[in-house]
């Protein structure tokens, strides 16, 4: 049997972190088994579905590199098929018209709540044979009254629910449009899904869906219900903390490789391993290893993960991810060292891509002010002489490379009988404008001879002026 999975979001918002993880798990399982993966947009609620959300989902999937073999399939384009199935269920006696008004239903639920019962439709239209004048009926599925439904869940184990807990759900609204539980079932059957991997907030729907599948004579797929992701504080994700779209993570400077790795480890594990290449994810991922409990999203660990990838990913890959940020933060790199070299110099200290761009400006642009605190500490009277000596040694170099630069600085220290601690920091501030940069040899080499010397001269003048 060839595995087939799908990711089926409804376009009522962006692709959030929980959805992204479900998509990742579905994608991984299909890919690792040589099966296929489909993307289906559940947009039957026309009131709430919006195009912007569809775009956001597609963009998110692409950024994460989760490609699909089928789709996007839009449910709104399959209404004819749903109508056909609904008719079939009617013809076979598995469904019936219900003429109850919303008010009537609400009253019924009120009463059940008052009796400390679970609110559910009591089946009062089950036996009705005559239509009610002037009322467009909904269509309800005739759920079995007795017996258990068993969900064979790959994550949670067997879940048994008695049919008495279920009611006759609406499968078609009074305007004839199908509802979620019907469309999911029809699509999962038609698309040949073998494994339904989704959030565990769907567990309650599963027995109803299984009953419909059985009524349709279809094979019931395997299920894997993945727990929810909680916010940093352990509470349900909300807009205020973490319930942001995955594209926000791009905007904030995260690498998709890191986000994926963070997500796969959130609720899944393979021994003590933390870092997984895409190949390793495919090799080791098993639905059975998904942890059954909800897990809290931890930004600190994501930050760490992001840095791990920043340090180890091939430069070309980082360069690719950086393009958007360079544009977004308006950094023109055409006049300066090769971006790849700056990445090599900065990758161990940049917190993320946004931080990288922000802390790498001096390689490409001149600056006209110094870090205030560092200026106060380093640019004291007399330092200009030290800088001048350094300048002269550097200016005299035949070759401009990290080795020669380092030896020039070392020679300056010896000549002035000063430690590196006296010569280095002012030099760094003069050339970078900030007290933070890669090693001086690397920094000066990348900034280049002309710029380095100019900046030192400028700093000398600046010190002379401010300490006069």
Of 210-218, 260-268, 332-340, 381-389: span binding RNA (CB under 7 A) = 260-268
Q: Angle CA(317)–CA(318)–CA(322) in degrees, nearest 5?
A: 120
* Cross-strand bridge partners of residue 332: none
Residue ranges in 362-401 that form contacts with RNA under rule CB under 7 A = none
Rounded CA separation 66/435 (Å): 41
> Contact between 105 and RNA (CB under 7 A)?
yes
Which residue, 271 or 382, is less far from RNA as judged by CB?
271
Among 39, 197, 212, 230, binds RNA (CB under 7 A): 230
Rounded CA separation 408/389 (Å): 10
Rounded CA separation 423/421 (Å): 6
Residue ranges in 285-344 that form contacts with RNA under rule CB under 7 A = 289, 291-296, 298, 300-301, 303-304, 307, 311
Rounded CA separation 294/358 (Å): 36
> Contact between 235 and RNA (CB under 7 A)?
yes
Match 């110099």 to its residue by tokens.
Answer: 345
Which residue, 138 or 446, is less far from RNA as judged by CB?
138
Among 93, 157, 217, 314, binds RNA (CB under 7 A): 157
Please say whether the dihedral angle defined by the alpha carbons of residues 401, 403, 406 and 410, taken in this order, is positive or negative: negative
Edge-first strand order for the sheet with 4-7 is 4-7, 36-41, 70-74
Instruction: Tell me if residue 235 is catalytic.
Output: no
Q: How far is the CB of 327 from RNA (least distance, A)?
A: 25
Among 33, 163, 205, 454, binds RNA (CB under 7 A): 205
Which residue, 336 or 424, is less far from RNA as judged by CB?
424
Q: Which of 118, 239, 351, 458 is catalytic?
A: 239
> Contact between 202 and RNA (CB under 7 A)?
yes
Among 161, 218, 354, 416, binds RNA (CB under 7 A): 161
> Is residue 377 annotated as involved in ligand binding?
no
Rounded CA separation 126/193 (Å): 31
* Phi (first) and psi of residue 157, to 5 degrees: 90, -170
Of 39-47, 82-90, 389-397, 447-455: span binding RNA (CB under 7 A) = 39-47
CB 214 within 8 A of CB 185: no
> Contact between 180 and RNA (CB under 7 A)?
yes
Which residue, 252 or 274, is less far from RNA as judged by CB?
274
Among 36, 179, 360, 386, binds RNA (CB under 7 A): 179
Largest CA distance in the chain: 107
> Contact between 227 and RNA (CB under 7 A)?
yes
Q: How far is the CB of 468 from RNA (least distance, A)?
A: 26
* Phi (first) and psi of residue 73, to 5 degrees: -95, 130
Rounded CA separation 390/320 (Å): 37
* Cross-strand bridge partners of residue 74: 41
Among 91, 130, 146, 175, binds RNA (CB under 7 A): 175
> Contact between 101 and RNA (CB under 7 A)?
yes
Rounded CA separation 43/11 (Å): 6
Q: How far out from the chain centre does Cα 267 lie?
A: 15
Q: How far is the CB of 439 from RNA (least distance, A)?
A: 4
Of 25-33, 50-58, 247-255, 266-274: span binding RNA (CB under 7 A) = 266-274
Q: Give how far Cα 31 sits from Cα of 23, 34, 237, 257, Å.
A: 12, 5, 29, 17
Q: How far is the CB of 2 from RNA (least distance, A)?
A: 26
Residue ranges in 390-449 that form contacts with RNA under rule CB under 7 A = 406, 419-421, 424-425, 428, 435-441
Among 5, 44, 53, 452, binds RNA (CB under 7 A): 44
The count of residues interacting with RNA (CB under 7 A) is: 82
Among 200, 224, 285, 430, binds RNA (CB under 7 A): 200
Of 15-23, 81-89, 179-187, 319-327: span binding RNA (CB under 7 A) = 179-187
User: How is residue 2 written in tokens?
Assistant: 């060839």
Which residue, 36 or 306, is less far from RNA as judged by CB?
306
> Contact between 45 and RNA (CB under 7 A)?
yes
Of 157-165, 323-331, 379-387, 389-397: span binding RNA (CB under 7 A) = 157-165
> Contact between 156 and RNA (CB under 7 A)?
yes
Among 332, 348, 365, 403, binds RNA (CB under 7 A): 348
Of 16-24, 125-133, 270-278, 386-394: span binding RNA (CB under 7 A) = 270-278
> Contact between 109 and RNA (CB under 7 A)?
yes
Residues with active-site annotation: 239
Binding residues: 239
Annotated binding site for ATP: 239
């Amino acid at each position: 049997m060839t595995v087939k999975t799908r990711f089926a979001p409804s376009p009522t918002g962006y692709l959030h972190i929980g959805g992204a993880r479900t998509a990742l798990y579905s994608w991984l399982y299909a890919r690792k088994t040589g099966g296929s993966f489909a993307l289906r947009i559940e947009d039957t609620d026309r009131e709430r579905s919006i195009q912007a959300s569809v775009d956001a989902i597609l963009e998110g999937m692409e950024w994460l590199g989760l490609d699909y073999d089928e789709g996007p399939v839009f449910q709104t384009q399959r209404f004819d098929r749903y109508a056909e199935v609904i008719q079939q269920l009617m013809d076979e006696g598995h469904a019936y018209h219900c003429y109850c008004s919303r008010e009537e239903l609400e009253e019924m639920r009120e009463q059940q709540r008052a009796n400390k019962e679970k609110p559910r439709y009591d089946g009062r239209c089950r036996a009705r044979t005559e239509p009610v004048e002037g009322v467009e009926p909904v269509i309800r599925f005739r759920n079995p009254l007795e017996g258990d439904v068993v969900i064979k869940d790959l994550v949670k184990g067997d879940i048994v629910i008695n049919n008495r807990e279920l009611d006759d759900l609406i499968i078609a609204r009074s305007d004839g449009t199908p509802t979620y539980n019907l469309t999911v079932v029809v699509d999962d059957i038609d698309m040949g899904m073998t494994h339904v991997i989704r959030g565990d907030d769907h567990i309650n729907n599963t027995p109803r869906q299984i009953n419909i599948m059985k009524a349709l004579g279809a094979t019931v797929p395997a299920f894997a219900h993945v727990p929810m992701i909680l916010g940093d504080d352990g509470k349900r994700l909300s807009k205020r903390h973490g319930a942001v779209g995955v594209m926000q993570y791009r905007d904030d400077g995260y690498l998709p490789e890191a986000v994926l790795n963070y997500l796969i480890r959130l609720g899944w594990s393979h021994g003590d391993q933390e870092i997984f290449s895409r190949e390793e994810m495919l090799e080791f991922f098993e639905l059975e290893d998904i942890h059954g409990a909800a897990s809290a999203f931890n930004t600190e660990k994501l930050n760490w993960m992001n840095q791990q990838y920043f340090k180890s990913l091939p430069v070309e890959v980082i360069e690719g991810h950086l393009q958007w940020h360079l544009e977004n933060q308006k950094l023109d790199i055409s006049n300066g060292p090769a971006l790849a070299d700056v990445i090599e110099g900065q990758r161990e200290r940049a917190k993320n891509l946004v931080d990288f761009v922000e802390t790498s400006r001096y390689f490409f642009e001149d600056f006209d002010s110094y870090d205030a605190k560092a200026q106060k500490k380093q640019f004291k009277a007399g330092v200009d002489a030290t800088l001048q000596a350094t300048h002269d040694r550097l200016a005299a170099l035949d070759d401009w490379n990290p080795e020669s630069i380092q030896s020039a600085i070392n020679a300056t220290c010896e000549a002035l009988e000063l430690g590196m601690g006296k010569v280095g920091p002012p030099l760094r501030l003069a050339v970078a404008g900030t007290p933070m940069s890669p090693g001086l040899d690397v920094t000066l080499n990348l900034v280049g001879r002309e710029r380095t010397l100019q900046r030192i001269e400028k700093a000398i003048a600046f010190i002379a002026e401010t300490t006069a």
